[in-house]
Structure 1
Amino acid sequence: MPETAVGRRSPESRGVAVASVAPGTPCWADLATPGLDAARRFYPELFGWTGRVDPEPEAGGYTVFLLGGRAVAGAGPPAVPDQVPIWSTYVATDDADLVAGRVERAGGQVVVPPFEVFDRGRMAVFTDPAGAAFSVWQPFAFAGAEVFDTPGAMSWTELVTPDPEGARVFYELVFGWQPEEEPMGQVAYTGWRLGDRMVAGMMPPLGVEFPADSPAYWTVYFSVADADATAAHAAELGGTILVPPRDIPAGRIAALRDPTGALFSLISLTRTVPR
Protein backbone atom coordinates (compact mmCIF):
# COMPACT_ATOMS: atom_id res chain seq x y z
CA MET A 1 0.00 0.00 0.00
CA PRO A 2 1.63 3.28 -1.07
CA GLU A 3 1.67 6.40 1.04
CA THR A 4 -0.37 8.36 -1.50
CA ALA A 5 -3.12 5.76 -1.63
CA VAL A 6 -4.25 6.14 1.97
CA GLY A 7 -7.26 8.22 2.88
CA ARG A 8 -8.62 8.52 -0.65
CA ARG A 9 -12.18 7.43 0.04
CA SER A 10 -14.86 10.06 0.33
CA PRO A 11 -14.59 11.90 3.68
CA GLU A 12 -17.89 10.49 4.94
CA SER A 13 -16.62 6.90 4.57
CA ARG A 14 -13.77 7.17 7.04
CA GLY A 15 -15.04 5.94 10.39
CA VAL A 16 -18.71 6.78 9.87
CA ALA A 17 -21.67 5.11 8.22
CA VAL A 18 -22.15 5.46 4.47
CA ALA A 19 -24.97 4.39 2.18
CA SER A 20 -22.79 3.17 -0.67
CA VAL A 21 -19.57 3.75 -2.56
CA ALA A 22 -19.13 4.86 -6.15
CA PRO A 23 -19.20 2.29 -8.97
CA GLY A 24 -15.71 0.99 -9.66
CA THR A 25 -14.72 1.20 -5.98
CA PRO A 26 -14.17 -1.82 -3.70
CA CYS A 27 -17.25 -1.91 -1.49
CA TRP A 28 -17.27 -5.24 0.34
CA ALA A 29 -15.15 -8.22 1.34
CA ASP A 30 -16.27 -11.62 2.45
CA LEU A 31 -14.75 -14.91 3.46
CA ALA A 32 -15.70 -18.25 1.92
CA THR A 33 -14.62 -20.97 4.32
CA PRO A 34 -15.52 -24.52 5.33
CA GLY A 35 -14.71 -23.41 8.89
CA LEU A 36 -17.55 -20.93 9.24
CA ASP A 37 -18.05 -21.58 12.95
CA ALA A 38 -14.33 -21.04 13.55
CA ALA A 39 -14.43 -17.80 11.55
CA ARG A 40 -17.35 -16.58 13.66
CA ARG A 41 -15.11 -17.02 16.71
CA PHE A 42 -11.76 -15.89 15.31
CA TYR A 43 -12.60 -12.58 13.64
CA PRO A 44 -14.87 -11.14 16.36
CA GLU A 45 -12.16 -11.88 18.93
CA LEU A 46 -9.53 -10.30 16.67
CA PHE A 47 -11.38 -7.19 15.45
CA GLY A 48 -14.18 -6.70 17.98
CA TRP A 49 -16.87 -7.65 15.48
CA THR A 50 -20.31 -9.03 16.21
CA GLY A 51 -22.16 -11.26 13.78
CA ARG A 52 -25.60 -11.18 12.16
CA VAL A 53 -26.58 -14.47 10.51
CA ASP A 54 -28.71 -14.20 7.37
CA PRO A 55 -32.15 -15.64 8.16
CA GLU A 56 -32.64 -17.05 4.65
CA PRO A 57 -32.09 -20.86 4.80
CA GLU A 58 -30.57 -20.77 1.32
CA ALA A 59 -27.84 -18.44 2.60
CA GLY A 60 -26.19 -21.35 4.39
CA GLY A 61 -25.50 -19.37 7.55
CA TYR A 62 -23.92 -16.40 5.76
CA THR A 63 -22.87 -13.95 8.45
CA VAL A 64 -22.55 -10.19 8.16
CA PHE A 65 -19.94 -8.97 10.62
CA LEU A 66 -20.71 -5.68 12.34
CA LEU A 67 -18.47 -3.09 13.94
CA GLY A 68 -20.42 -0.86 16.28
CA GLY A 69 -23.61 -2.04 14.60
CA ARG A 70 -22.40 -1.24 11.07
CA ALA A 71 -21.57 -3.80 8.39
CA VAL A 72 -17.85 -4.27 7.72
CA ALA A 73 -17.40 -7.73 6.13
CA GLY A 74 -19.05 -11.11 5.67
CA ALA A 75 -18.40 -14.85 5.88
CA GLY A 76 -20.17 -17.84 4.45
CA PRO A 77 -19.72 -21.45 3.36
CA PRO A 78 -17.68 -22.24 0.24
CA ALA A 79 -19.51 -22.33 -3.08
CA VAL A 80 -18.04 -25.75 -3.88
CA PRO A 81 -16.78 -28.44 -1.46
CA ASP A 82 -13.13 -28.25 -2.53
CA GLN A 83 -12.82 -24.46 -2.52
CA VAL A 84 -9.89 -23.20 -0.49
CA PRO A 85 -10.69 -20.64 2.24
CA ILE A 86 -10.43 -17.20 0.65
CA TRP A 87 -11.28 -13.56 1.27
CA SER A 88 -12.96 -12.04 -1.79
CA THR A 89 -12.93 -8.42 -2.90
CA TYR A 90 -16.17 -6.97 -4.30
CA VAL A 91 -16.16 -3.93 -6.58
CA ALA A 92 -19.31 -1.82 -6.71
CA THR A 93 -21.13 -1.59 -10.03
CA ASP A 94 -24.46 -0.35 -11.32
CA ASP A 95 -24.59 -3.12 -13.96
CA ALA A 96 -23.10 -6.54 -13.19
CA ASP A 97 -24.03 -7.88 -16.64
CA LEU A 98 -22.16 -5.08 -18.36
CA VAL A 99 -19.04 -5.84 -16.29
CA ALA A 100 -19.32 -9.54 -17.22
CA GLY A 101 -19.17 -8.62 -20.89
CA ARG A 102 -16.15 -6.40 -20.33
CA VAL A 103 -14.34 -9.15 -18.42
CA GLU A 104 -14.78 -11.61 -21.28
CA ARG A 105 -13.70 -9.12 -23.92
CA ALA A 106 -10.62 -8.20 -21.85
CA GLY A 107 -9.48 -11.84 -21.59
CA GLY A 108 -10.80 -12.75 -18.15
CA GLN A 109 -13.26 -15.47 -17.22
CA VAL A 110 -16.78 -15.37 -15.85
CA VAL A 111 -16.65 -17.93 -13.04
CA VAL A 112 -20.16 -17.27 -11.72
CA PRO A 113 -22.48 -15.28 -14.05
CA PRO A 114 -24.47 -12.41 -12.54
CA PHE A 115 -27.29 -13.53 -10.24
CA GLU A 116 -29.56 -11.99 -7.63
CA VAL A 117 -28.85 -12.50 -3.94
CA PHE A 118 -32.38 -12.38 -2.51
CA ASP A 119 -33.37 -8.70 -2.34
CA ARG A 120 -29.85 -7.60 -1.32
CA GLY A 121 -28.23 -7.12 -4.70
CA ARG A 122 -26.78 -8.73 -7.78
CA MET A 123 -23.30 -10.24 -7.89
CA ALA A 124 -20.89 -12.12 -10.14
CA VAL A 125 -17.47 -13.74 -9.76
CA PHE A 126 -14.65 -13.38 -12.27
CA THR A 127 -10.95 -14.10 -12.71
CA ASP A 128 -8.49 -11.86 -14.49
CA PRO A 129 -6.13 -13.28 -17.15
CA ALA A 130 -3.56 -14.21 -14.46
CA GLY A 131 -6.17 -16.11 -12.42
CA ALA A 132 -6.91 -13.62 -9.63
CA ALA A 133 -10.53 -13.96 -8.49
CA PHE A 134 -12.67 -10.92 -7.75
CA SER A 135 -16.37 -10.14 -7.55
CA VAL A 136 -18.74 -7.30 -8.32
CA TRP A 137 -21.71 -6.11 -6.30
CA GLN A 138 -24.72 -4.31 -7.78
CA PRO A 139 -26.62 -3.12 -4.71
CA PHE A 140 -30.35 -3.32 -4.10
CA ALA A 141 -31.28 -3.41 -0.41
CA PHE A 142 -27.68 -3.95 0.76
CA ALA A 143 -25.00 -1.48 -0.34
CA GLY A 144 -21.95 -3.21 1.15
CA ALA A 145 -19.66 -2.05 3.91
CA GLU A 146 -20.96 0.89 5.92
CA VAL A 147 -17.65 1.99 7.40
CA PHE A 148 -14.04 2.05 6.18
CA ASP A 149 -10.57 3.11 7.31
CA THR A 150 -11.15 2.82 11.02
CA PRO A 151 -9.76 0.04 13.26
CA GLY A 152 -11.66 -3.16 12.53
CA ALA A 153 -12.88 -2.06 9.10
CA MET A 154 -11.61 -2.65 5.57
CA SER A 155 -9.03 -0.08 4.58
CA TRP A 156 -7.46 -1.20 1.30
CA THR A 157 -7.52 -3.90 -1.38
CA GLU A 158 -4.48 -4.99 -3.34
CA LEU A 159 -3.73 -7.28 -6.24
CA VAL A 160 -0.58 -9.39 -6.01
CA THR A 161 0.23 -10.62 -9.51
CA PRO A 162 3.15 -11.95 -11.57
CA ASP A 163 1.73 -10.08 -14.59
CA PRO A 164 1.42 -6.39 -13.66
CA GLU A 165 1.46 -5.26 -17.28
CA GLY A 166 -1.44 -7.49 -18.22
CA ALA A 167 -3.37 -6.41 -15.12
CA ARG A 168 -2.93 -2.73 -15.95
CA VAL A 169 -4.63 -3.28 -19.30
CA PHE A 170 -7.33 -5.62 -17.97
CA TYR A 171 -8.59 -3.53 -15.04
CA GLU A 172 -8.55 -0.32 -17.04
CA LEU A 173 -10.79 -1.99 -19.63
CA VAL A 174 -13.11 -3.52 -17.01
CA PHE A 175 -13.44 -0.70 -14.44
CA GLY A 176 -11.82 2.31 -16.06
CA TRP A 177 -9.01 2.32 -13.51
CA GLN A 178 -6.00 4.40 -14.48
CA PRO A 179 -2.68 2.86 -13.38
CA GLU A 180 -0.14 5.11 -11.69
CA GLU A 181 3.28 4.17 -10.39
CA GLU A 182 3.53 4.82 -6.67
CA PRO A 183 6.67 5.18 -4.52
CA MET A 184 7.20 2.34 -2.03
CA GLY A 185 10.91 1.77 -1.54
CA GLN A 186 12.34 -0.72 -4.03
CA VAL A 187 8.95 -2.20 -4.88
CA ALA A 188 7.33 -1.55 -8.25
CA TYR A 189 3.96 -0.53 -6.83
CA THR A 190 0.97 0.54 -8.91
CA GLY A 191 -1.99 2.51 -7.62
CA TRP A 192 -5.26 2.54 -9.52
CA ARG A 193 -7.00 5.86 -9.82
CA LEU A 194 -10.70 6.26 -10.53
CA GLY A 195 -11.44 9.91 -11.13
CA ASP A 196 -9.78 11.87 -8.35
CA ARG A 197 -9.31 8.92 -5.96
CA MET A 198 -6.99 5.97 -5.57
CA VAL A 199 -9.23 2.92 -5.15
CA ALA A 200 -6.88 -0.09 -5.14
CA GLY A 201 -3.28 -1.13 -5.57
CA MET A 202 -1.08 -3.73 -7.21
CA MET A 203 2.35 -5.22 -6.65
CA PRO A 204 4.35 -8.26 -7.82
CA PRO A 205 4.92 -11.25 -5.50
CA LEU A 206 7.83 -10.62 -3.14
CA GLY A 207 10.09 -12.72 -0.93
CA VAL A 208 10.32 -16.41 -0.20
CA GLU A 209 6.75 -16.44 1.10
CA PHE A 210 5.50 -15.48 -2.37
CA PRO A 211 7.55 -17.21 -5.10
CA ALA A 212 7.66 -15.57 -8.51
CA ASP A 213 5.42 -18.29 -9.93
CA SER A 214 2.69 -17.69 -7.34
CA PRO A 215 -0.81 -17.37 -8.77
CA ALA A 216 -2.31 -13.90 -8.77
CA TYR A 217 -4.70 -13.02 -5.95
CA TRP A 218 -6.45 -10.10 -4.29
CA THR A 219 -5.84 -9.42 -0.62
CA VAL A 220 -7.88 -7.34 1.83
CA TYR A 221 -6.31 -5.01 4.40
CA PHE A 222 -8.15 -4.39 7.65
CA SER A 223 -7.24 -1.31 9.64
CA VAL A 224 -6.00 -1.86 13.20
CA ALA A 225 -4.68 0.38 15.94
CA ASP A 226 -1.53 -1.71 16.49
CA ALA A 227 -0.33 -4.13 13.79
CA ASP A 228 2.17 -5.88 16.08
CA ALA A 229 -0.32 -6.50 18.86
CA THR A 230 -3.07 -7.61 16.47
CA ALA A 231 -0.75 -9.99 14.60
CA ALA A 232 0.39 -11.51 17.90
CA HIS A 233 -3.21 -11.87 19.04
CA ALA A 234 -4.12 -13.57 15.74
CA ALA A 235 -1.37 -16.13 16.37
CA GLU A 236 -2.70 -16.72 19.89
CA LEU A 237 -6.13 -17.39 18.38
CA GLY A 238 -4.76 -20.02 16.01
CA GLY A 239 -3.82 -17.90 13.02
CA THR A 240 -0.42 -17.73 11.31
CA ILE A 241 1.82 -14.71 10.78
CA LEU A 242 2.84 -15.07 7.15
CA VAL A 243 4.72 -11.78 6.84
CA PRO A 244 5.68 -10.19 10.19
CA PRO A 245 4.75 -6.54 10.80
CA ARG A 246 6.89 -4.10 8.85
CA ASP A 247 6.90 -0.40 8.14
CA ILE A 248 5.84 1.25 4.90
CA PRO A 249 5.36 5.00 4.30
CA ALA A 250 1.63 4.76 5.12
CA GLY A 251 2.05 2.85 8.38
CA ARG A 252 2.78 -0.69 9.50
CA ILE A 253 1.48 -3.81 7.76
CA ALA A 254 1.42 -7.58 8.25
CA ALA A 255 0.10 -10.55 6.27
CA LEU A 256 -1.70 -13.36 8.12
CA ARG A 257 -3.63 -16.55 7.61
CA ASP A 258 -6.63 -17.39 9.75
CA PRO A 259 -6.96 -20.82 11.42
CA THR A 260 -8.37 -22.38 8.23
CA GLY A 261 -5.74 -20.81 5.94
CA ALA A 262 -7.47 -17.74 4.47
CA LEU A 263 -5.04 -14.91 3.73
CA PHE A 264 -5.71 -11.36 4.92
CA SER A 265 -3.62 -8.32 5.82
CA LEU A 266 -3.45 -5.68 8.52
CA ILE A 267 -2.56 -2.00 8.27
CA SER A 268 -1.91 0.32 11.18
CA LEU A 269 -2.09 3.77 9.62
CA THR A 270 0.41 6.31 10.86
CA ARG A 271 -0.47 9.07 8.47
CA THR A 272 -3.12 9.92 5.95
CA VAL A 273 -2.73 12.08 2.89
CA PRO A 274 -4.99 15.12 2.52
CA ARG A 275 -7.16 14.97 -0.54
Structure 2
Amino acid sequence: MDYAERDTGDEYAEGVPCWADAMLPDVEGGKRFYGELFGWTFDEGAGPEYGHYTQAYVDGRAVAALAPKADGRMPTVWTVYLATPDAAALAGRIKAAGGSMVTEVMTVGPFGTMGLAADPEGAVFGLWQAGTHRGFGLTQAPGAFCWTEVYSRDKDRVDPFYEGVFGYRGHDLDLSGVAFRTWSPAGSEPGPDTAVGGRQLFPAADAVGARSADGYSTPEMPPHFLVYFTVADADATTGAATRLGGRALMPPTDIPYGRMSVIRDNQGAVFAVLQD
Protein backbone atom coordinates (compact mmCIF):
# COMPACT_ATOMS: atom_id res chain seq x y z
CA MET A 1 0.00 0.00 0.00
CA ASP A 2 1.25 3.51 -0.82
CA TYR A 3 1.36 5.59 2.35
CA ALA A 4 2.74 8.70 0.59
CA GLU A 5 5.63 8.58 3.03
CA ARG A 6 7.20 11.97 3.63
CA ASP A 7 10.83 12.42 4.59
CA THR A 8 10.50 15.93 5.91
CA GLY A 9 12.69 18.86 4.96
CA ASP A 10 14.17 21.51 7.19
CA GLU A 11 11.36 24.05 7.12
CA TYR A 12 7.69 24.01 8.04
CA ALA A 13 5.35 26.81 7.02
CA GLU A 14 3.70 28.66 9.88
CA GLY A 15 0.77 26.76 11.33
CA VAL A 16 1.83 23.37 9.95
CA PRO A 17 2.06 20.60 12.59
CA CYS A 18 5.77 20.01 13.10
CA TRP A 19 6.02 17.91 16.28
CA ALA A 20 4.07 15.91 18.86
CA ASP A 21 4.86 14.69 22.35
CA ALA A 22 3.16 12.87 25.20
CA MET A 23 3.36 13.85 28.86
CA LEU A 24 3.27 10.62 30.87
CA PRO A 25 3.56 9.56 34.51
CA ASP A 26 5.92 6.72 33.51
CA VAL A 27 8.15 7.26 30.46
CA GLU A 28 9.69 3.78 30.70
CA GLY A 29 6.18 2.32 30.59
CA GLY A 30 5.43 4.56 27.62
CA LYS A 31 8.52 3.31 25.81
CA ARG A 32 7.37 -0.28 26.26
CA PHE A 33 3.82 0.52 25.08
CA TYR A 34 4.69 2.61 22.02
CA GLY A 35 7.82 0.65 21.22
CA GLU A 36 5.77 -2.49 20.75
CA LEU A 37 2.75 -0.73 19.23
CA PHE A 38 4.55 1.34 16.59
CA GLY A 39 8.01 -0.21 16.52
CA TRP A 40 9.54 2.98 17.87
CA THR A 41 13.10 3.10 19.12
CA PHE A 42 14.22 5.72 21.61
CA ASP A 43 17.26 7.78 22.46
CA GLU A 44 18.72 7.83 25.96
CA GLY A 45 16.76 10.97 26.81
CA ALA A 46 17.88 14.49 27.55
CA GLY A 47 19.30 15.48 30.93
CA PRO A 48 17.36 16.94 33.86
CA GLU A 49 17.78 20.47 32.48
CA TYR A 50 15.49 19.40 29.61
CA GLY A 51 13.07 17.35 31.71
CA HIS A 52 14.46 13.93 30.65
CA TYR A 53 12.76 14.42 27.27
CA THR A 54 13.00 11.19 25.22
CA GLN A 55 12.67 11.16 21.43
CA ALA A 56 11.15 8.31 19.43
CA TYR A 57 12.33 7.17 16.01
CA VAL A 58 11.21 5.16 13.00
CA ASP A 59 14.12 3.97 10.84
CA GLY A 60 16.35 6.50 12.61
CA ARG A 61 14.07 9.47 11.86
CA ALA A 62 12.43 11.41 14.68
CA VAL A 63 8.66 10.97 14.90
CA ALA A 64 7.59 12.04 18.43
CA ALA A 65 8.74 12.29 22.04
CA LEU A 66 7.76 11.16 25.51
CA ALA A 67 8.30 13.29 28.60
CA PRO A 68 7.70 12.65 32.31
CA LYS A 69 5.11 14.82 34.00
CA ALA A 70 6.83 17.24 36.33
CA ASP A 71 3.65 17.56 38.38
CA GLY A 72 1.08 14.83 38.94
CA ARG A 73 -1.70 17.37 38.48
CA MET A 74 -0.69 17.90 34.86
CA PRO A 75 -2.78 16.06 32.25
CA THR A 76 -1.58 12.85 30.66
CA VAL A 77 -1.94 13.91 27.07
CA TRP A 78 -0.58 14.05 23.53
CA THR A 79 0.20 17.60 22.33
CA VAL A 80 0.67 18.76 18.75
CA TYR A 81 3.06 21.65 18.02
CA LEU A 82 2.46 24.14 15.22
CA ALA A 83 5.44 25.66 13.47
CA THR A 84 6.28 29.34 13.55
CA PRO A 85 9.28 31.47 12.55
CA ASP A 86 8.63 33.78 15.52
CA ALA A 87 7.06 32.23 18.63
CA ALA A 88 6.92 35.51 20.55
CA ALA A 89 5.04 37.28 17.77
CA LEU A 90 2.68 34.32 17.40
CA ALA A 91 1.97 34.34 21.15
CA GLY A 92 1.02 38.00 20.84
CA ARG A 93 -1.42 37.25 18.01
CA ILE A 94 -2.94 34.38 19.98
CA LYS A 95 -3.67 36.64 22.96
CA ALA A 96 -5.02 39.43 20.75
CA ALA A 97 -7.39 36.95 19.05
CA GLY A 98 -8.93 35.73 22.32
CA GLY A 99 -6.63 32.81 23.09
CA SER A 100 -4.17 32.52 25.95
CA MET A 101 -0.72 31.21 26.74
CA VAL A 102 -0.70 28.25 29.13
CA THR A 103 3.10 28.25 29.12
CA GLU A 104 4.76 31.45 27.97
CA VAL A 105 7.30 31.28 25.18
CA MET A 106 10.69 29.99 26.35
CA THR A 107 13.98 29.00 24.78
CA VAL A 108 14.89 25.31 25.01
CA GLY A 109 18.67 25.45 24.76
CA PRO A 110 19.87 25.27 21.16
CA PHE A 111 16.90 23.12 20.14
CA GLY A 112 14.34 25.89 19.62
CA THR A 113 11.69 28.03 21.26
CA MET A 114 8.39 26.66 22.53
CA GLY A 115 5.16 27.64 24.23
CA LEU A 116 1.78 26.12 25.01
CA ALA A 117 -1.32 28.02 23.94
CA ALA A 118 -5.08 27.59 24.35
CA ASP A 119 -7.71 28.66 21.85
CA PRO A 120 -10.81 30.65 22.94
CA GLU A 121 -12.54 27.40 24.02
CA GLY A 122 -9.52 26.06 25.91
CA ALA A 123 -8.11 23.49 23.47
CA VAL A 124 -4.33 23.36 24.04
CA PHE A 125 -1.67 23.22 21.34
CA GLY A 126 2.05 23.88 21.21
CA LEU A 127 4.16 26.45 19.36
CA TRP A 128 7.58 25.54 18.02
CA GLN A 129 10.19 27.86 16.56
CA ALA A 130 12.92 25.57 15.31
CA GLY A 131 16.54 25.75 16.32
CA THR A 132 18.65 22.64 15.89
CA HIS A 133 15.51 20.53 16.34
CA ARG A 134 13.58 21.02 13.11
CA GLY A 135 10.59 18.85 14.00
CA PHE A 136 9.38 15.59 12.48
CA GLY A 137 11.97 13.71 10.47
CA LEU A 138 9.24 11.55 8.95
CA THR A 139 5.46 11.83 8.48
CA GLN A 140 2.75 9.94 6.60
CA ALA A 141 4.46 6.58 7.16
CA PRO A 142 3.63 3.70 9.54
CA GLY A 143 4.42 4.80 13.09
CA ALA A 144 4.67 8.47 12.13
CA PHE A 145 2.37 11.47 12.54
CA CYS A 146 -0.17 12.04 9.78
CA TRP A 147 -2.97 14.38 10.93
CA THR A 148 -4.50 16.46 13.72
CA GLU A 149 -7.87 18.05 14.36
CA VAL A 150 -9.37 20.20 17.09
CA TYR A 151 -12.71 19.28 18.65
CA SER A 152 -14.77 22.42 19.24
CA ARG A 153 -18.25 23.53 20.24
CA ASP A 154 -18.57 26.94 18.63
CA LYS A 155 -17.23 27.26 15.08
CA ASP A 156 -18.02 30.97 15.08
CA ARG A 157 -15.42 31.44 17.83
CA VAL A 158 -12.86 28.86 16.82
CA ASP A 159 -12.67 29.14 13.04
CA PRO A 160 -11.92 32.89 12.99
CA PHE A 161 -9.31 32.37 15.71
CA TYR A 162 -7.21 29.82 13.82
CA GLU A 163 -7.77 31.38 10.42
CA GLY A 164 -6.87 34.81 11.74
CA VAL A 165 -3.85 33.76 13.80
CA PHE A 166 -2.32 31.37 11.27
CA GLY A 167 -3.87 32.56 8.02
CA TYR A 168 -5.38 29.13 7.40
CA ARG A 169 -7.59 28.68 4.34
CA GLY A 170 -10.76 26.84 5.39
CA HIS A 171 -12.82 24.30 3.46
CA ASP A 172 -16.05 22.78 4.83
CA LEU A 173 -16.83 19.09 4.42
CA ASP A 174 -19.76 16.87 5.38
CA LEU A 175 -18.23 13.52 6.32
CA SER A 176 -21.17 11.16 6.74
CA GLY A 177 -23.05 13.61 8.93
CA VAL A 178 -19.96 15.01 10.66
CA ALA A 179 -19.54 18.78 10.18
CA PHE A 180 -15.85 19.13 9.44
CA ARG A 181 -13.61 21.98 8.28
CA THR A 182 -10.14 21.42 6.89
CA TRP A 183 -7.38 24.02 7.18
CA SER A 184 -4.67 24.60 4.58
CA PRO A 185 -1.61 26.83 5.05
CA ALA A 186 -1.77 30.50 4.10
CA GLY A 187 -1.27 31.04 0.39
CA SER A 188 -2.40 27.55 -0.61
CA GLU A 189 -5.59 26.49 -2.36
CA PRO A 190 -8.01 25.33 0.37
CA GLY A 191 -9.20 21.74 0.32
CA PRO A 192 -8.38 18.21 1.48
CA ASP A 193 -5.39 17.88 -0.84
CA THR A 194 -3.51 20.73 0.87
CA ALA A 195 -4.97 20.44 4.39
CA VAL A 196 -2.66 20.11 7.39
CA GLY A 197 -5.37 19.85 10.05
CA GLY A 198 -9.01 20.49 10.75
CA ARG A 199 -11.85 21.32 13.08
CA GLN A 200 -14.64 18.98 14.13
CA LEU A 201 -17.72 19.94 16.14
CA PHE A 202 -18.94 18.14 19.22
CA PRO A 203 -22.51 16.85 19.33
CA ALA A 204 -25.12 19.43 20.31
CA ALA A 205 -24.77 20.58 23.92
CA ASP A 206 -28.31 19.45 24.77
CA ALA A 207 -27.62 15.90 23.59
CA VAL A 208 -26.09 14.79 26.90
CA GLY A 209 -25.13 11.14 26.79
CA ALA A 210 -25.12 11.08 23.01
CA ARG A 211 -22.16 10.43 20.78
CA SER A 212 -21.39 12.31 17.61
CA ALA A 213 -21.51 10.71 14.21
CA ASP A 214 -17.76 10.02 14.47
CA GLY A 215 -18.44 7.55 17.30
CA TYR A 216 -15.83 9.12 19.57
CA SER A 217 -16.71 12.58 20.83
CA THR A 218 -19.44 13.36 23.36
CA PRO A 219 -20.95 16.66 24.53
CA GLU A 220 -19.21 16.31 27.89
CA MET A 221 -15.67 16.26 26.49
CA PRO A 222 -13.51 19.37 26.84
CA PRO A 223 -12.27 20.95 23.60
CA HIS A 224 -9.00 19.31 22.58
CA PHE A 225 -6.68 18.33 19.77
CA LEU A 226 -6.49 14.72 18.60
CA VAL A 227 -3.16 13.52 17.17
CA TYR A 228 -3.14 10.80 14.49
CA PHE A 229 -0.43 8.30 13.55
CA THR A 230 -0.33 6.24 10.36
CA VAL A 231 -0.52 2.46 10.72
CA ALA A 232 -0.48 -0.42 8.26
CA ASP A 233 -3.48 -2.16 9.89
CA ALA A 234 -5.86 -0.24 12.16
CA ASP A 235 -7.55 -3.40 13.45
CA ALA A 236 -4.28 -5.09 14.36
CA THR A 237 -2.91 -1.94 15.99
CA THR A 238 -6.07 -1.46 18.04
CA GLY A 239 -5.94 -5.09 19.15
CA ALA A 240 -2.29 -4.72 20.12
CA ALA A 241 -3.03 -1.54 22.10
CA THR A 242 -5.72 -3.37 24.04
CA ARG A 243 -3.39 -6.27 24.75
CA LEU A 244 -0.78 -3.78 26.02
CA GLY A 245 -3.24 -2.30 28.51
CA GLY A 246 -4.80 0.44 26.41
CA ARG A 247 -8.43 0.86 25.45
CA ALA A 248 -10.27 1.55 22.19
CA LEU A 249 -12.45 4.65 22.69
CA MET A 250 -13.60 4.31 19.09
CA PRO A 251 -13.26 0.87 17.44
CA PRO A 252 -11.74 0.59 13.95
CA THR A 253 -14.09 2.40 11.61
CA ASP A 254 -14.07 3.15 7.90
CA ILE A 255 -14.03 6.86 6.99
CA PRO A 256 -13.66 8.50 3.56
CA TYR A 257 -9.88 8.74 4.05
CA GLY A 258 -9.15 5.25 5.35
CA ARG A 259 -9.79 3.20 8.46
CA MET A 260 -9.23 4.70 11.89
CA SER A 261 -9.63 4.15 15.59
CA VAL A 262 -9.16 6.25 18.72
CA ILE A 263 -7.08 4.72 21.51
CA ARG A 264 -6.34 5.59 25.12
CA ASP A 265 -2.90 4.27 26.04
CA ASN A 266 -2.16 2.35 29.23
CA GLN A 267 -1.50 5.61 31.11
CA GLY A 268 -4.44 7.67 29.83
CA ALA A 269 -3.07 9.62 26.84
CA VAL A 270 -5.46 9.59 23.86
CA PHE A 271 -4.45 9.40 20.20
CA ALA A 272 -5.82 8.11 16.90
CA VAL A 273 -4.46 5.78 14.26
CA LEU A 274 -5.24 5.88 10.54
CA GLN A 275 -4.79 3.16 7.95
CA ASP A 276 -4.56 4.78 4.53
Show the counterpart of 1:272: none
Query: CA separation in 2, counterparts of 1:179 and 1:55?
Result: 38
Please report the TM-score for the alignment, with normalisation by the length of structure 2.
0.89
TM alignment of 1:1-275, pairs within 5 A: 14-194=5-185, 195-196=187-188, 197-206=194-203, 207-208=210-211, 209-269=216-276
Residues 30 and 75, structure 1, Cα contact 8 Å, conserved in 2: yes
How far the C-alpha of 1:54 sits from its partner, in A, is: 3.0
CA RMSD of aligned residues (A): 1.5
Count of residue pairs brought into register by the alignment: 258
In 1, Cα distance between equivalents of 2:24 and 2:144: 20
Unmatched 5+ stretches in structure 1: 1-6, 270-275
Match of 1:4 in 2: none
* Letter paired with 1:203: Q
How far residue 128 of structure 1 moved from its aligned partner, in angstroms, is: 0.6
Q: Relative contact order (C-alpha < 8 Å, sep 6+): which is higher?
A: 1
Separation in structure 1 between the aligned mates of residue 20 and residue 46 of structure 2, nearest angstrom: 20
TM-score w.r.t. length of structure 1? 0.90
Task: Please identify, of 182-191 and 66-75, the stretch whose mean Cα deviation from structure 2 is larger.
Answer: 182-191
**Structure 2, unpaired ranges of 5+:** 189-193, 204-209
Give per-residue Cα distances to partners, 1:136-190, cap 9 Å, x unaligned: 1000100010111011100001111112221101101211112210231111011
Q: Is the 8 A contact 2:78 2:270 kept in 1?
A: yes
SS for the counterpart of 2:135 is coil
Would the aligned equivalents of 1:20 and 1:27 in 2 still touch at CA under 8 Å?
Answer: no
Separation in 2, partners of 1:55, 1:261: 23
Paired-residue identity, %: 39
**What SS is found at the alignment partner of 1:183?**
strand
Deviating 4+ runs (over 3 angstroms): 206-209
In structure 2, the CA distance between the partners of 1:53 and 1:166, relative to structure 1 (3 Å rule), is: farther
Rounded to whole Å, the distance in 2 between the matches of 1:46 and 1:241 is: 14
SS in 2 for 1:87: strand
